[in-house]
Amino acid sequence: MKKRNAISVVVSVFGSLVTGLGGVEHGIGEVLQGSVAPAGLMFASWPGTPFFRSVAGEPAMSLVPNLLASGLLTILVSLVFIVWAIGFLHRRSSSLVLLGLSVVLLLVGGGFGPPLLGIIVGITATRARLRAGGQRPATGLTRALGALWPWFFAAAIAAWLLVIPGTQLLDRVFGVREVEAVVPLFILLAFATLALAIVTGLARDRVAAQAGSWGSEVRAARK
């Protein structure tokens, strides 16, 4: 089995954890509302649900004029996204597929956060198949950034879990009132740590690719 590089791990984890499962969560809320028309182009996936009070009922939009159909489509697209993000990043078209699925997810009721993350990981996926960042040797800064990748990757996962379900748990389980006031800060932290995970992941892959290339040259010289 081919070893995954850092960027492909970022794409697979955040594509499945945030975009895929986040879309499924929106879809379930829409399905549970039944075969009714949404209140408008924009609506809440979980209206009146106390658990999602801190995130305004999980806003979404859909061009489908029926919440049951919208929810089913959202779940289907989200599951396809998960499968593609985990199993098909080696395909040349992986980035375009992820970007296309993200746009569809936005338009059928997948909320706003999951499609936006899908677009980010879709763009990032263009780097998943690249093992080197050009002919220039990796600098000390590149090596230092690459060494930090596991820490920023773990921090990004923790930050996104803090947004959901962390925000809801703080509100409903631990009784932290007015928690919705800090949700924007949590979201900013989540995007910032994801950006750092991507930057350091690219650096880590560049160092690893050049080390592998150097090793191949050494082995060839010994023959």
Q: How many CB atoms lie within 10 A of CB 173?
A: 10
* Residue range 20-65, pLDDT digits in tens: 999 999 999 999 999 999 989 999 999 999 888 888 899 999 999 9
In a domain, 75, yes or no: yes
Could you tell me the pLDDT band of residue 183, with boundaries at 50, 70 and 90? confident
Residues 179 and 103: their CA atoms lie apart, in Å, by 30
Asked if pLDDT for residue 223 goes beyond 60, the answer is: no
- Class of residue 27 by CB neighbours under 10 A (exposed 0-12, middle 13-18, buried 19+): buried
Residues 125 and 2: their CA atoms lie apart, in Å, by 16
pTM, 2 dp = 0.86
End-to-end CA distance of the chain: 27
Cis amide leading into 47 (omega within 30): no
User: Which residue range(s) make up the domain with 54?
Assistant: 6-222
* Residue range 73-94, pLDDT digits in tens: 999 999 999 999 998 888 888 8
Q: Which residues pair with 44 in a beta bridge?
A: 59
Q: What domain count does the chain have?
A: 1
* Residue range 97-156, pLDDT digits in tens: 999 999 999 999 999 999 999 999 999 987 656 544 455 667 888 899 999 999 999 999
Sequence length of the chain is: 223
In a domain, 1, yes or no: no
Residues 93 and 140: their CA atoms lie apart, in Å, by 33
In a domain, 142, yes or no: yes
Alpha helices in 33-87 (DSSP H): 67-87
